[in-house]
Structure 1
């Protein structure tokens, strides 16, 4: 029997082990995939100290943006060379299907890192402002400078991609970073560290500490030498990170939970909207914060839509994520599976109708691993728990509405505001709805189309700040105004408003 590989941490350009280990378990088979070092608070402190030394040393921040971009592009080249390996690791550690790993989890990660490398070349790190004439002649220069040490705390669902969303702008802006992956899915981030090392990234600029969120993650959020925290995860944990970061007034970017409303207008192309609704809540078994988990249907089309929706859901192939024909794989852990099953049961107790799924999957392949099939709850009222709380699984709640105004009100009746969708053949009508929805992203006739060229983030308790887009580096820089006097002569200045003239 082949022994599972072991991955140490990456700190200050070196591979660092720990006394204890995490076991990485395949969620489809319950088999051991690998072990990783189980870091402790002292490892977090060591990583931050390494990042701070690197920042003060200045060999990264003092490079020209083009030089930084060149090294980032070399990391992209290494990741492209490792594409198949990264896909295999993603499937093994978090159960994503092969076709989704290739397109989204790994494919997007590599292309988004290249986007940030390109952005480093074009971002306006310094510009001259307007000439000032009052009270004296002067001109201003506005600079964008790196913050210093950044901590990125990354969840298990899209570990490599969401690490890139933090690593990419941090490096492009000239910062040094400490990344903490979720203990269930650290492998692709550690492979990223290998790629960065091979590409010539200076020691200490990137550090990866594998450890529990309650200790290592909390220490990074509170550490006085960390000047910026970027976190993706649950709203509850995001609130705790905000509290810890507030102790020394860090910059914070939070991308948190969601309960995405998916509004089908009465004129929608029903075939497209049905597939879009399934895609919205079943991609990666619904384990994405921006999933479309609340489907809002006009009463006039409710029965027709539900008939087609459930018939199409029956065609989704759940099974081995390594099989390219599989549409949906397992749930990340047994704990998450139990949580999802609890919500399915709770929804029915609250009065929802089990329209599809909701039962244990049968067959030999489902005897090991963590499995929940697509589940649709009909006749849901938006006040129900299943319509308000994030389930984080392949569970869709379906809500009827009478008027478009009512649909918009229902869509906004939530503490979340991360994602939303509108389906209509009338783009102007869909845009009118989109403008009224309190959400950081609204897709029209589509879902999950996150693009590096556009900002991503949430309203309300879905977070603050934005990742991606042309202004992504703003979150990882400090603005500095430099005043340059043009008057030059003493008599042209305003010193006399508090100083006596010479000779008095």
Structure 2
């Protein structure tokens, strides 16, 4: 089966179909499978491999074997491969978007403008970034003259674990820099949203990625994820997911001295000051709360509004949220289904907590009207509550759904303290027409990213990551390449070994000092200035 046939199967399947692990350039079935459920219908639509340590080890062995040759390829070659991957995904954008929507529950229109284009951009971005990556160098003068420079070398097999909320978007954001830097990969996508990762394997084949360079093993955390991060030939692990699992990875890998990047949970505040233009800000604030059913780690979860505009804001927020359409992801809707029944029960349990503690609902208590085919799906309407305390579970715990807490504040110092009063520190947003205030507050918020009068805008050269319980490490052009490489410092002491006199020989001649052979061009360059401690009569050339 090729990519076109696999896409056709996923797009037109009338009964559940089986996907397979991708190991050493081949698709490999497993005996055990996990049912993958279409969140919008509640029906099984695919069977995902339930891999264990045996399959993980096969994938790691293939990646380890391929590393020797892949790590020696030129950056130009790797850039070409990444661009081919991007071109193939882009050529099939609509198909990938439709399948991503069915697998995850998000509106297909969102997948068309966010998920799949960002996947394409991730591969193209790192295809270019690796061509322009630079290394540090310095000419040392004391106590001797020596050239010091840094080389970045690929590390080996990268274990990549990606989440279910933005499957293609975030998996590609790990695979692209890992490959660009010269590593090989064993990826484990979420067992809830595996189909587009399986299709991506066909893209790798079509793009000419050598066998063993990328391997994809499907399964759950305990059976597949844990053997991957513990494998002795996986020296580097990049994880995006919950804080609970991220902490578990950090704990079990601590004795193994692995290089870790952990992008974990968030409880992101949005602060709306009195000077903010509420009408102008409202569409973006609504998106920050409810995009992708609130299943984005960067979505707003706590909304602080200055008390002088709170009533006006709450009314407009409620109207805007109630106007959002919830329904079948393939239709023209704003919110689709949340990813699974398990997650649906988690989200609705927090809505139940809000009722139990007497919270006031600004929106979210109307009945949903769904078509017959979607009545067994996992749909949650946009919900916002107020009149709760800052120490309530709704304000402290990550819900990861379309449930927002909206509370008033009085002073700048007060709201900064309250915004920081959680274990998380992934992102925050600030709305104010006072430029000084915006940047003053941004400096004081404990978050890896702070948006000022905007949301979900970032140039990929800028670092991304969290503070506190939201993560360890940063991702960007520079940060990702540095994470997926090991820095080595090289010191060249030729400068202190060459003779002091000015040399005027031809470019083909060589001189040997201390066993080192130096070309005349290099020698002339370094002999323009004598090494520290050399003959005091030597003079620099003019």
CA pair 77-364 structure 1, distance change in 2 beyond 3 A: closer
- Deviation, structure 1 residue 470: 3.5
Secondary structure of the residue aligned to 2:405 is strand
1:22 alignment counterpart: 34
**Structure 1 unpaired stretches of 5+:** 495-504
CA pair 345-450 structure 1, distance change in 2 beyond 3 A: farther
Counterpart of 1:356 (choices 344, 360, 363) is: 363
1:219 alignment counterpart: 227
- Deviation, structure 1 residue 455: 1.8
**Mean Cα deviation higher: 333-342 or 359-368:** 359-368
CA distance in 2, matches of 1:451, 1:29: 37
Secondary structure of the residue aligned to 2:443 is helix
Counterpart of 2:281 (choices 273, 285, 288) is: 273
Q: Is the 8 A contact 2:359 2:385 kept in 1?
A: yes
- Deviation, structure 1 residue 4: 3.1
Q: Is residue 288 of structure 1 aligned with residue 300 of structure 2? A: no
Normalising to structure 2: TM-score of the pair? 0.87
Q: Is the 8 A contact 1:23 1:35 kept in 2?
A: yes
1:63 alignment counterpart: 73
CA pair 379-31 structure 1, distance change in 2 beyond 3 A: same
Secondary structure of the residue aligned to 2:478 is coil
1:109-161 Cα offsets, whole Å, 9 max, x none, are 1112110111111112x44x222233333211210110111000011111111
Q: Is the 8 A contact 2:59 2:215 kept in 1?
A: yes
Q: Is residue 104 of structure 1 aligned with residue 114 of structure 2? A: yes
- Deviation, structure 1 residue 410: 0.9
| Greater Rg over alpha carbons, structure | 2
Q: Is the 8 A contact 1:235 1:257 kept in 2?
A: yes
Secondary structure of the residue aligned to 2:424 is coil
- Deviation, structure 1 residue 450: 4.1
1:79 alignment counterpart: 89
1:290-313 Cα offsets, whole Å, 9 max, x none, are 110100011111111111111111
Counterpart of 1:12 (choices 7, 16, 24) is: 24
Secondary structure of the residue aligned to 2:237 is strand
Secondary structure of the residue aligned to 1:43 is helix
1:299-335 Cα offsets, whole Å, 9 max, x none, are 1111111111111111100011101x21100111111
- Deviation, structure 1 residue 278: 1.4
Alignment of 1:296-311 (within 5 A): 296-311=304-319
CA distance in 1, matches of 2:14, 2:342: 28
1:377-413 Cα offsets, whole Å, 9 max, x none, are 1123221110010001100001211101111111111
CA distance in 1, matches of 2:79, 2:309: 52
CA distance in 2, matches of 1:244, 1:318: 41
Q: Is residue 42 of structure 1 aligned with residue 41 of structure 2? A: no
Q: Is the 8 A contact 1:456 1:469 kept in 2?
A: no
Aligned residues: 488
Normalising to structure 1: TM-score of the pair? 0.93
- Deviation, structure 1 residue 484: 1.2
- Deviation, structure 1 residue 266: 0.4
Alignment of 1:420-431 (within 5 A): 420-431=428-439
Counterpart of 1:51 (choices 63, 66, 88) is: 63
Secondary structure of the residue aligned to 1:470 is helix
CA RMSD of aligned residues (A): 1.7
Alignment of 1:166-245 (within 5 A): 166-245=174-253
Q: Is the 8 A contact 1:229 1:245 kept in 2?
A: no
CA distance in 2, matches of 1:68, 1:430: 42
